Chain A
Amino acid sequence: MALLEVDHLSVTYTPRDQPANRAVHDVSFHISEGEFVGLLGESGCGKSTLGNAVLRLLSPPARITGGRVTFDGVDLTTADEEKLRELRWVDLSTVFQSSMNSLNPVIRVHAQFADTFAAHKVPGDVTERATELLELVALDRRVLRAYPHELSGGMKQRVALALALALRPKLVLLDEPTTGLDVVVQRGILTRLAELRRELGFAVLFISHDLGTVLEMADRVMVMYGGEIVEDRRAADMLREPRHPYSRGLLGSYADPRLPDVRVSYIPGRPPDLSRPHTGCLFAARCPHVEDACRTTHPDLLPDRHGLVRCLVAQSDRLPVVTLGSADAATTLGSHFPATGTLDRPADAAEAAPVLTVTGVSKRYTTRRGLRTSSVEAVRDVSFALRPGVVTALVGQSGSGKSTLARIVTAVERPTSGEVRFTGDDGTDVRVDRLRGAALRDYRRHVQMVFQDPFSALNPTRTVAYALSRPLANFAGLRGAAARERAAQLLESVGLAPAGQFLDKLPHQLSGGQRQRVVTARALAPDPRVLIADEPISMLDVSIRAEILELLGDLVRDRRLAMLYITHDLLSARLLADEVLVLNQGVLVERGPTREVIGAARDEYTRLLLDSIPNPFAKAAAG
């Protein structure tokens, strides 16, 4: 008998003000003792809801509307509070995504361990046991005396992990345990997790949107889409031959940046609205292999080649066959989706005169804390140039000074020393670091930004037309109908056509990708020479990242923009950038043409970044 059995589980959200939303629909799966199962899916697909349902932690308005969850023979859906309490943590523990909030902020780490032991009447010395547990996750015992806010995100997540293992559970549910953490830290924690699992032998349900990580870690992978499991298969098999078009699409958005030829694909469209009734396959609208039957018949999850798949086309074996195991798996995998590859570099790019030159820029932040002052050097003696038609990627982990540089370049902040020069089309030369007032506004006509978070970059109360009209009014003097017409053109130029559908929409009516396109359109409105893109895809779902990258790449080429592309993600840098600057603790440690830097990194730090990228294909290649 399996350790965890989920049987036809459905969860529905019934908020008062909105129609009911069936977040999880008729989900069945099981996990055996010691098994590491990954649960993959985009945001909103119901994976976290499923996780909470398994833990019976759903809070209103979500509730289980059908099915059962059996753990070790106990029906969790009907178990009484006390029974459940005894079982929790002893057998079934969890680590939440938000490491920021999962520890009680007002009590020390020690007390949180003590609470846990006390709740389950674990005898013995709390400090001793807790220290052991912390050692498991490579933390010093001093952490016990700390309050959560005194720990870094990574440390907190390690504490959460140690806490999850405190009672040696049979199953640990990890819900996006490393999301939001820095790549390098993320890598460290996952590595430790894998080691611990080998040592302790607990089963894991690993919920994540990060396909690379899941495929690398898991024995078996389940892919969720629209509240349903669409594919359930051993990780190795999944890598070799994913059988659901959606799984294929997801896998296609991954690639190893170190390969000579990198190509990724994306899934156009957006996930279904689960508050509306659907007939047929939920993925049909986005599926490249869709057939007529898909639109009318809802497929079941049926056995298919050592796994389960919910696809009529696959089940009737009409899916194009891919056999993989090779290093360029992704290329083939995603071939049925629109793909994006390395940009063709314009021949004259390197020779073009720079529009923006950064010379010897340093930035020191002085913070005053009480009577003492301390200063941090965020950026140290950085020089580079941006040229028209060239994408320069600025790569580094969080805290490396990337964003500070972006702020300096856009004249939001002034450097402590060094200079930033902008050369206009007409040959005018501006010292950016000394701008103020009208000259600053004038400069911004030429230098625009694409923001990281498309949800925060658009005012929720203003329509798309308004957002676009502002730069048009301020920089181009366009108003009224003229501005609207130009706004429509801009929308179409970023692929939002027909523009009339979008102009009067509010941000929340758009998908993340659409928003990011609007943000991009707004940045293009003043017809700038330089575009600063600060992690423009990191908040987007994996399946559509490539789509935005492609858009940015096209814009740079068509409009001969100079672009500074800021990212922690080397794959996207590899896809988009012509040259790469690697920033570590404020210092440029490596620079050069993208292919050279990524393909043959010289600097240790660059290699560390590269190693931190999850690489399922490596495993597939190895296995």
Chain B
Amino acid sequence: MSTPAPAVPAPGADTEGVQAAATAVARGTRLPGWFVILWRNRKCRIGILMLAAFVLVAVFAPLIAPYDPRDDAFPTSLGPTADHWLGTTAQGEDVFSQLVVGARTSLVVGLAAGVLSTLIGLVVGLTAGFVGGWVDEVLSFLINLGLVVPALPLMVTLAAYAPVRGLWLIIIVISVTGWAYGARIKRSQIITLRTRDYITAARFAGDRTARIIAREIVPNMTSLIVVGFMGAALGAIGGEAGLAFLGLGDPLTVSWGTMLNQASLGGAMLTGQWAWLIAPGLALSLLITSFTLINFGIDALSNPHLRED
């Protein structure tokens, strides 16, 4: 899949600076500092607004969707009409309602797989980077393994072989195949951070390793973690769509990927139902675009060279 490489700051990027700047900016407002900084970036602001729109649609999907997305009581294979803005499927379901509810799936997958793979990446990366020694050797090997194993074939294989087909399976498959990149970045970041004097100082202050990682290091990696999360979420959304499109998704869930799969199988091209074909893909691109735009902002933050002047 050629989702663009997630914009992640290069190892050793100025994540502490971001943190400091964020804290500085936050003074006087009740909003978190990172948000204020992101908000000031034009691209990022557009991205945040777009994402917010998607989130709203997802949250209020039942109110927005005119029909139950699975209600197949309508005439089949309709083009756009006043009652069915985007037409109906070959089974007689309302495409627009599916589109609205599909936003939920994509966001849930993005959120869950993003969190999951970020967590895996964080734990592995932190452990490898901070503990060092043979633990690092082993974990680094795993990370590199995770990086070189071709992801989509692995995803396809795993998804095809799992005994139960469900949204969680998709989420897990995506997380399992997608954590390594974040882990590598986090590892190199922590290697930079662990030599900082304040880490030594924390040891001298009698703090234990776990506390040092949690209270001294992780806060300084927030922007990295956020970027990693966004990248993972973005990959997960695309991955879910791809798997669903290949027919490896969860057929019980309405998602943009399954919609495209259904549109492809259900003869949307044949019956000329362009709306059925275009709407889910477009929604997907817009969602991914919103993530990418936000990532631009975060990237610019942590990489001073990329800051907009």
Q: Select one of A16, A459, A509 contacting B220, CB under 8 A.
A: A459
A470 touches B202 (CB 8 A): yes
The residues in B between 145 and 179 inclusive whose CB is less than 8 angstroms from any CB of A are none
Report Cα–Cα, A519/B204, bound state, in Å.
12
Contact A61 to B309, CB < 8 A, known contacts A458-B198, A460-B16: yes
Report Cα–Cα, A316/B35, bound state, in Å.
53
Stretch of A194-202, A217-225, A247-255, A446-454 lying at the B interface: A446-454
Q: Is A441 an interface residue (CB 8 A)?
A: yes
Q: Encode contact with B along A510-526: 1 for CB under 8 Å, 0 otherwise.
A: 00000000010011011
B205 touches A60 (CB 8 A): no
Residues on B with C-beta less than 8 A from A461 are: 16, 19-20, 23, 219-220
Q: Is B197 an interface residue (CB 8 A)?
A: yes
Contact A471 to B220, CB < 8 A, known contacts A16-B308, A456-B197, A457-B197: no
B206 touches A445 (CB 8 A): yes
Residues on A with C-beta less than 8 A from B23 are: 460-461, 506, 508
B206 CB to nearest chain A CB (Å): 3
Residues on A with C-beta less than 8 A from B17 are: 460
Q: Is A149 an interface residue (CB 8 A)?
A: no
Q: Select one of B16, B206, B307, B308 contacting A470, CB under 8 A.
A: B206
B20 touches A410 (CB 8 A): no
Residues on B with C-beta less than 8 A from A462 are: 215-216, 219
A441 touches B206 (CB 8 A): yes
Q: Is A412 an interface residue (CB 8 A)?
A: yes
Q: Select one of A61, A410, A459 contacting B198, CB under 8 A.
A: A459
A508 touches B24 (CB 8 A): yes
Residues on A with C-beta less than 8 A from B108 are: none
Q: Is B201 an interface residue (CB 8 A)?
A: yes
B308 touches A506 (CB 8 A): no
B63 CB to nearest chain A CB (Å): 38
Contact A519 to B201, CB < 8 A, known contacts A460-B20, A508-B24: yes
Which residue from chain B places its CB closest to the CB of A16 in the assembled complex?
A: B308
Report Cα–Cα, A474/B197, bound state, in Å.
19
A471 touches B198 (CB 8 A): no
A456 touches B205 (CB 8 A): no
Report Cα–Cα, A460/B307, bound state, in Å.
21
Residues on A with C-beta less than 8 A from B40 are: 16-17
Residues on A with C-beta less than 8 A from B16 are: 460-461
Residues on B with C-beta less than 8 A from A523 are: 204
Residues on B with C-beta less than 8 A from A61 are: 309
Since A451-B200, A460-B19 are in contact, a sample of 20 more A-B pairs with Cβ atoms closer than 8 Å, ordered by chain A residue number, is A15-B307, A15-B309, A17-B37, A60-B309, A61-B309, A412-B200, A458-B201, A459-B220, A460-B23, A461-B19, A461-B23, A470-B202, A471-B204, A474-B205, A474-B206, A475-B206, A506-B20, A506-B24, A526-B205, A526-B206
B201 touches A17 (CB 8 A): no
Which residue from chain B places its CB closest to the CB of A507 in the assembled complex?
A: B20
How many A residues have CB within 8 A of the partner chain? 36
Q: Encode contact with A along B210-251: 1 for CB under 8 Å, 0 otherwise.
A: 000001100110000000000000000000000000000000
A451 touches B203 (CB 8 A): no
A444 touches B206 (CB 8 A): yes
Residues on B with C-beta less than 8 A from A459 are: 198, 202, 216, 219-220
How many B residues have CB within 8 A of the partner chain? 28
Binding site for B on A (CB under 8 A): 15-17, 60-61, 410, 412, 441, 444-445, 448-449, 451-453, 456-462, 467, 470-471, 474-475, 506-509, 519, 522-523, 525-526
Report Cα–Cα, A149/B20, bound state, in Å.
32
Residues on B with C-beta less than 8 A from A441 are: 206
A13 CB to nearest chain B CB (Å): 10
B137 CB to nearest chain A CB (Å): 13
Which residue from chain B places its CB closest to the CB of A447 in the assembled complex?
A: B204
Q: Is B25 an interface residue (CB 8 A)?
A: yes
A471 touches B309 (CB 8 A): no
A466 CB to nearest chain B CB (Å): 8
Contact A449 to B216, CB < 8 A, known contacts A16-B40, A458-B198: no
A369 CB to nearest chain B CB (Å): 17
Q: Is B207 an interface residue (CB 8 A)?
A: yes
B205 touches A522 (CB 8 A): yes
Counting from the closest, the 9 A-B pairs by CB-CB distance are: A474-B206, A60-B309, A457-B197, A470-B205, A471-B205, A461-B219, A451-B197, A460-B20, A459-B198
A-B pairs with beta carbons under 8 Å apart, 5 shown:
A16-B307, A462-B216, A467-B201, A471-B206, A509-B24
Q: Select one of B37, B198, B207 contacting A474, CB under 8 A.
A: B207
A470 touches B207 (CB 8 A): yes
Q: Select one of A15, A16, A509, A522 contacting B201, CB under 8 A.
A: A522
B205 touches A449 (CB 8 A): no
B206 touches A449 (CB 8 A): no
Contact A17 to B204, CB < 8 A, known contacts A453-B197, A459-B220, A506-B20: no
A451 touches B201 (CB 8 A): yes
B149 CB to nearest chain A CB (Å): 28
Q: Select one of A445, A451, A508 contacting B20, CB under 8 A.
A: A508
Residues on B with C-beta less than 8 A from A470 are: 202, 205-207
The residues in B between 16 and 51 inclusive whose CB is less than 8 angstroms from any CB of A are 16-17, 19-21, 23-25, 37, 40
B200 touches A449 (CB 8 A): yes
Report Cα–Cα, A410/B203, bound state, in Å.
11
Residues on B with C-beta less than 8 A from A519 are: 201
Residues on B with C-beta less than 8 A from A451 are: 197, 200-201
B197 touches A452 (CB 8 A): yes
B9 CB to nearest chain A CB (Å): 16
Most chain B CB inside 10 Å of its own CB: which residue of A441, A448, A459, A460: A459
A456 touches B198 (CB 8 A): yes
A62 CB to nearest chain B CB (Å): 10
Which residue from chain B places its CB closest to the CB of A519 in the assembled complex?
A: B201
Report Cα–Cα, A470/B220, bound state, in Å.
18
A456 touches B196 (CB 8 A): yes
Report Cα–Cα, A525/B204, bound state, in Å.
11
Q: Select one of B20, B203, B220 contacting A444, CB under 8 A.
A: B203
Which residue from chain A places its CB closest to the CB of B21 in the assembled complex?
A: A17
Most chain A CB inside 10 Å of its own CB: which residue of B20, B196, B197, B215: B197
Which residue from chain B places its CB closest to the CB of A458 in the assembled complex?
A: B198
A476 CB to nearest chain B CB (Å): 10
Report Cα–Cα, A16/B203, bound state, in Å.
38
A17 touches B206 (CB 8 A): no
The residues in B between 179 and 207 inclusive whose CB is less than 8 angstroms from any CB of A are 196-198, 200-207
Contact A457 to B198, CB < 8 A, known contacts A16-B40, A474-B206, A474-B207: yes
Report Cα–Cα, A449/B206, bound state, in Å.
12
Residues on B with C-beta less than 8 A from A412 are: 200
Which residue from chain B places its CB closest to the CB of A449 in the assembled complex?
A: B204
Residues on A with C-beta less than 8 A from B19 are: 460-461
Which residue from chain A places its CB closest to the CB of B211 in the assembled complex?
A: A470
Q: Encode contact with A along B1-26: 1 for CB under 8 Å, 0 otherwise.
A: 00000000000000011011101110
Residues on A with C-beta less than 8 A from B201 are: 449, 451, 457-458, 467, 519, 522
B129 CB to nearest chain A CB (Å): 17
Report Cα–Cα, A444/B84, bound state, in Å.
73
Report Cα–Cα, A525/B205, bound state, in Å.
9
B48 CB to nearest chain A CB (Å): 16
A444 touches B309 (CB 8 A): no
A562 CB to nearest chain B CB (Å): 16
Residues on B with C-beta less than 8 A from A525 are: 205
Residues on A with C-beta less than 8 A from B198 are: 456-459, 467
Report Cα–Cα, A620/B212, bound state, in Å.
52
A448 touches B204 (CB 8 A): yes
Q: Select one of A17, A467, A509 contacting B25, CB under 8 A.
A: A17
Q: Select one of B200, B202, B206, B309 contacting A16, CB under 8 A.
A: B309
